[in-house]
Structure 1
C-alpha cells in the first residue's frame, strides 16, 4: 500500500469514526426529546404549536441520515398527523413582540390538554386544520410535512404541504410593495420570518411536485425579489425582524432563525431555477450572520435573549439556523460553515448538556441551566447537521 493510499484510508476511517460519534450523540438527544412527546396530542410537552413542527422536522432530518431511527420517525409522523389537529390552538394563539424584540406567544388557557375533548376529530388532510391564525406557524408545519415526505415518500404529507402553502399564498400581494406575508391573519405586521418561510416552502415544493414546479418556482422567485427589495436586509448584510407600518426596516434584533430560513429557501430555489445570484445572496447573509452571532469559538448565540430571556420562542431559533446552514454548505461548501457546525455540536455536547438527564440547553457555549423540548430539538439540529458536514 502506498503512502498516499494509506493516508486516504486513514482519513476515511477518521471521518467515519467522527460521523459515528456524531450520530450516537444525535440519537441520544432524540431519545431525550421523546421523553416530552405525548402520543395523545401528537406534540411535545413544554413546547408550543410551531415548535412541534420544528421538533418533527429535526427528527426527519436525523432519519434521513440514520436508518436506525426511521421506523420510530414514521410512527411519530403518523401519530402527529392523526391527532395533532385535535389540539390545534386555532385562532386562540396570540403573538406580540416583547421589549427585547422577541416574539411572545400566548396560547389559550390549559392548551393543549383542554382542547382534546372539546374538538371533534379533524380531517388531517384538510390544510386548514393546521392553521392557527399565525401564518408562520402554518408554514413551519408545511416544511415539516415536506421533511416527513422526504423520509417516507408518503404523498399524503406532500399534498398537505401543498395545501398549507396555497392557504398562505391567498394572503399575498396586499402588503408593502404589493408583496410579503403578514405575521398573523388578524394584523398587518409584515415580518421577515413569515415571508422567508413562504419562499422556502415554495422552493421546497417546486423541487418535489413536478406537475406544479413552474407555479411554485414563480412564487419563490417573486417572493425573493420582493424580499430583497424591502430593506429588511440591513447595511451589515443581516436580516432584521420586519417592517414598520411605513414599510421600512424596523430595526428589531438580528435573530438567528431569520438568518437561517432564507439560506435554505435560496438553496432550494437555486436547485429548480439555477441563478448564481441566489447562492451569492445566501453566502453573503450566512457570513454576515456568523460575524454577528458567533463567539470567538464559532458557537452561535442569540445575544438579544441569551441566556435567560429566550422562552418561549427564542429557544428554538438556533437549530433552525444550523439546519439551513447545512443546506447551503452542501450546495456551496465553505470551511467557515463546517467550522461553525462542528464547533456548535462539540460545545453543546461538552458544555451545554446535563449528563444525568441528557437534556440540552439554550446557551450552546454553556453552562447548562435547564432544558425543555424547545432547547432539546434546537440543539439536536446542530448535532444532526454535524453528522453530514464535510
Structure 2
C-alpha cells in the first residue's frame, strides 16, 4: 500500500489553446478540445484526480480523455497531454483510494432491507466510504470525512510525474493492483477499464498488467448466491446488481483482446454473460433494471442509462474475441430499446434523476454514449449516428456556459454549477460524435 501523499496542491496543467470562435463551432473535434480545456481546470495534479467529483468518476474521466486521444491521434499536443495524465494519475491517485486495503481485511456480512426498500451497506472495517441506494432508487456515495483534502508540507507540483517525461516506465512499473481496490467491485472495474484504455493509447504494458491485476482481484467476488454465478456489488455480499456484472463482462472481454491469456478471459466473459442472461435483469421492454432482489429476481429498479451502455461495449469486445452473431444482435436490441425509452421528443437522452442526479447519476449518460459509439463502430446503424450527433449538438448549443463548462441536462437549459462529473459525462457524447461525423 502506498503511503499518504503529504500535500494539497492544485494544478491547472497546460491545456490546449482556446482559439476557436466558440459560438459558431460545429466541428466535433474542436468542440471536444475546447471542452477538454475547461475540464482540466479541475484536474488536481497532486491527487491525480479531478476535483469536484469522486473516486470512481475520475476513472471514467480518464477513460474519456483516452478516447479523445484515440479519436484525434494526429494531435500531438493532445496525445502528449493524455499520456502525462495517465503517468501522473497512476502514481498519485492510489493515496486517494477512499478505502484502500479493505478487501484484504476481515469483514462482516450483513444486509438490511428497510420497509421502504432501501439497501444499506454495513461493515465493521469501513473507513467512512460507503454507497447506498436511497428510497428513490438513486445511488448515493458517501466519502470519508476530509476525503480529497490532502494536507501537509508543500511540494512543488512540477516535481510530479505529469511534468516529467511522459509515459515512462518509472511512473508505471511499480503500480500495485491492490492499491486500486476499495471494496466496491464496480469502482475497481471502472479503473481497470481506464487502464486498459491507457494501454491502447500508449502501448505501455504496465497499464495492461495493472488492469489484469485488478480484474484478478475482482474474480474473488464470484459467485453470488443467485444461480451459482455473477459477482457481488461489494465485499458485503448483499446485492447483485447489473453494473458490477456488466463491468466484469466488459473488462474480461477487453482483456481477451489484449492480454496474452485470451482463453482465460473469453471464458470469464462467457460465464458472466450466460449468468447475466439467466437472471432476468433484462426486462420485457429490452431494458436492464438495476439488479436482483434478495430472492434473486429482477428488482424492477431504475433502468439507468449506464446499465444500457456498459453491456454494449462488453458485447462488442466479446464478439471480437470470440465471434458470435448473437452478441451484436443482443447489443442492438438493448441499444435501440434504450434510445426509445430514454430519449425525449427531440432525441436527447435523460436519466430520471435529472436535474438532481448527485455525484453518481451525473456520470451515467456519458457512459451510454461512449459505448453506443463502440457498438456503431462494430455494427453501424443510422439511429446510433443520429442519437450521438443529436445529443452532442444539444449539449454544445443548450447545456454550456460561457466558460464552456457542461452540465447535467443535455437538453438544457444549463443547470449550475457544472462539475467534473457532469462535464466529463457530456464530453463522452462530444467525443463519440467525432468518429460518427
Same fold (TM over 0.5): yes
**1:342 lines up with 2:389 in the alignment:** yes
The equivalent residue for 1:13 is none
Misfit runs of 4+, over 6 Å: none
The equivalent residue for 2:144 is 108
The equivalent residue for 2:36 is 30
CA deviation after TM superposition for structure 1 residue 123, in Å: 8.8
**1:368 lines up with 2:417 in the alignment:** no
Where does 1:369-384 land on structure 2 (aligned, <5 Å)?
Answer: 369-370=415-416, 371-384=418-431
Give the whole-Å Cα distance in 1 for the aligned partners of 2:370 and 2:428. 6
Give the whole-Å Cα distance in 1 for the aligned partners of 2:244 and 2:31. 32
Q: Please, which of 283, 289, 298 is the counterpart of residue 338 of structure 2?
A: 289
Where does 1:6-45 land on structure 2 (aligned, <5 Å)?
Answer: 21-45=27-51
CA deviation after TM superposition for structure 1 residue 296, in Å: 1.5
**1:324 lines up with 2:380 in the alignment:** no
The equivalent residue for 1:254 is 303
> TM-score scaled to structure 1, two decimals?
0.91
The equivalent residue for 1:161 is 211
Q: Please, which of 151, 162, 178 is the counterpart of residue 128 of structure 1?
A: 178
Where does 1:45-64 land on structure 2 (aligned, <5 Å)?
Answer: 45-64=51-70
CA deviation after TM superposition for structure 1 residue 358, in Å: 1.1
Q: Please, which of 241, 252, 256 is the counterpart of residue 290 of structure 2?
A: 241
What's the RMSD between the two structures over aligned residues? Answer: 1.7
**1:306 lines up with 2:306 in the alignment:** no
Give the whole-Å Cα distance in 1 for the aligned partners of 2:242 and 2:151. 31
Give the whole-Å Cα distance in 2 for the aligned partners of 1:48 and 1:111. 9
Mark the runs of 5 or more structure 1 residues left unpaired by the alignment: 1-17
Instruction: Return 123-132 or 21-30, whichever deviates more.
Output: 123-132
CA deviation after TM superposition for structure 1 residue 99, in Å: 2.1
Give the whole-Å Cα distance in 1 for the aligned partners of 2:309 and 2:322. 20
Aligned residues: 365
Give the whole-Å Cα distance in 2 for the aligned partners of 1:115 and 1:41. 11
- 48 and 249 in structure 1: CA distance in 2 versus 1, 3 angstrom threshold: same
- Other structure's SS at 1:250 match: coil
Q: Deviations 1:142-197 (Å, cap 9, x if unpaired)?
A: 00000111000010000000000000012112331111111111232000000000
**1:65 lines up with 2:101 in the alignment:** no
Give the whole-Å Cα distance in 2 for the aligned partners of 1:44 and 1:297. 32
Give the whole-Å Cα distance in 2 for the aligned partners of 1:39 and 1:259. 33
The equivalent residue for 2:98 is 89
Give the whole-Å Cα distance in 2 for the aligned partners of 1:123 and 1:160. 9
Give the whole-Å Cα distance in 1 for the aligned partners of 2:255 and 2:230. 18
Cα pair 1:86 1:115 within 8 Å, conserved: no
Give the whole-Å Cα distance in 1 for the aligned partners of 2:331 and 2:231. 20
CA deviation after TM superposition for structure 1 residue 237, in Å: 0.4
> TM-score scaled to structure 2, two decimals?
0.81
- Other structure's SS at 1:104 match: strand
Give the whole-Å Cα distance in 2 for the aligned partners of 1:154 and 1:225. 32
**1:277 lines up with 2:313 in the alignment:** no
- 155 and 299 in structure 1: CA distance in 2 versus 1, 3 angstrom threshold: same
- Other structure's SS at 1:105 match: strand
Give the whole-Å Cα distance in 2 for the aligned partners of 1:180 and 1:123. 31
The equivalent residue for 2:105 is none
- 145 and 115 in structure 1: CA distance in 2 versus 1, 3 angstrom threshold: farther
Q: Deviations 1:228-277 (Å, cap 9, x if unpaired)?
A: 11000001000000000100011111100000000000000000100011
